[in-house]
Each structure stands twice: as C-alpha cells, then as structure tokens.
Amino acid sequence: MDSSKIYPRTGDAHTVYLKSVITRPTIEVGDFTIYNDFENDPRDFEKNNVLYHYPINHDRLIIGKFCSIACGAKFIFNCANHTLKSLSTYTFPLFFEEWNLPKTEVATAWDNKGDIVIGNDVWIGYDAVIMAGVKIGDGAIIGARAVVTKDVEPYSIVGGVPTKEIRKRFKPDIIEKLQYLQWWNWPVERIKESIHLIQSGNIEALHHITSSKNV
C-alpha cells in the first residue's frame, strides 16, 4: 500500500491522502489520514481549511495517522485572535505603520494559545471548527458543525457549540488497551492481517497478537 499517492480510491477525486497534498513545513500529517471535500478541490486543504495560519506566529497543525476529516472542517489559528489583555480588541500592533508602532510587536495583537494537535484515528465531522491551542486525543469523534474550544479526551464523542462530551466510545478498560496497542503504528502488513479484528471490535484478540509479538 502506498500512502504517498494522492487519491486512495480510483475515480474518487473528492478524497485525498492529506499528507500528499501538504506543502507547509508547519503542518504535519500522518500516513493514511484522509480528507474529503465535495465542494472544493481537496488538494486545496491548506488554503481553504487551515485559516489564519501565518508564518509570523510559528504555530503548527499536527494530525496523526488514520484520521478521517470531513468536508468543510476548519482549523482556526492564533492570528485570528484579538488580545484580551488590552483595553481594546482593535489590533493596533497589526497596523503598525498607521500607528507608528514597532513592527517587532505585531504578534502582540493576538493571544497565542499554541498549536493544534490531532491524535490518531480521529474522525472530524462536516463543517467542524477546531480552535487554536486545542488537543484532540486518539480515537475521538468530533460531531458535525461542532466548535472545539477545549481539549478532547481520547475516544470521546463530542458535539455542539462549544463542544461538550456526549459519551465515551468504549469502556475505560478497552480505551486503556487501545492506547497501549496503538495499532496505527503497526507495520502495514500487520494492520492488513488484523483488519477483521479491528473492525469486529475483538480487542482481546488484538491484545493477544501484540503480546505474542512483543510489540
């Protein structure tokens, strides 16, 4: 299998392996993560979906392996913010020429909340919005048109504006085993051999395979 190709499915130009279309050094995407867009060219993900991501701020978008990102999902970075430390929300430092301010202080126009970090095997629904500084754990599901302003725990289902946890996908012991297994880091051939166990939810069999192979 070749995760470096652009299109995972023959004849489907709406779905891409996201890693293959990324050009910015400040965006990292894991193998086999897909993005689907039926409104725009999915190859334009950086332009249409990663917003206010300007080099001056040095913030990063990190997305793990085997994630599924639906059409219209947006990642809103720190340069979209207006600082709350000032008495005014107007971004005076951004217009330094107009107000005779030092160019070196441009970044004080906004509050810097950090990188956006998405774990592995995360499903981000249609038109969801992920805000700056948010970390989403492995296996989480983000509902359609949700606005994520706070961190999401692994294997949680969240939705709403702003998001609230709806429920966990699995019981705590299964989540613990999945976080131990980290199947997304296995060699491709081993994942192929184990797909039927992953899909059927046979966690005990997966755990047994891992133990027997000392991985």
- Domain of 29, CATH number, reads 2.160.10.10
Summarize pLDDT for 100-145 with one digit per residue, the tens.
999 999 999 999 999 999 999 999 999 999 999 999 999 999 999 9
Residues 155 and 214 in one domain: no
Does the residue 89 lie in any domain? Answer: no
* Set 14, 53, 58, 82: catalytic member: 82
The answer to whether residue 69 is domain-embedded is: yes
User: Are residues 66 and 120 located together in one domain of the fold?
Assistant: yes
Burial class from Cβ neighbours inside 10 Å (0-12, 13-18, 19+) for residue 153 reads middle
In a domain, 7, yes or no: no
Domains identified in the chain, total number: 2
Q: What's the rounded Cα separation, in Å, for the pair 138 and 127? A: 20
Q: Is residue 128 part of a domain?
A: yes
| Residue 86 burial (C-beta neighbours within 10 Å; 0-12, 13-18, 19+) | middle
Supply the mean pLDDT for the chain: 94
Helix, strand or coil, per DSSP, at residue 160: coil
Q: For 194-203, what is each residue's pLDDT tens digit? A: 999 999 988 9
Domain that holds residue 76: 15-83+111-169
Q: Is residue 94 part of a domain?
A: no
Would you place residue 205 in the very low, low, confident or very high pLDDT band (cuts 50, 70, 90)?
Answer: confident
Tell me the backbone φ, ψ of residue 167, rounded to 5 degrees: -175, 170
Does the annotation mark 58 as catalytic?
no
Residue 91 falls within a domain, yes or no? no
Asked, for residue 205, whether it belongs to a domain, the answer is: yes
Q: Above pLDDT 90, what percent of the chain?
A: 91
Q: What is the pLDDT of residues 72-89, one digit of tens each?
A: 999 999 999 999 999 999
CB 108 within 8 A of CB 56: no
Q: What is the mean pLDDT of residues 81-100?
A: 95
What is the value of pTM for the model shown?
0.93
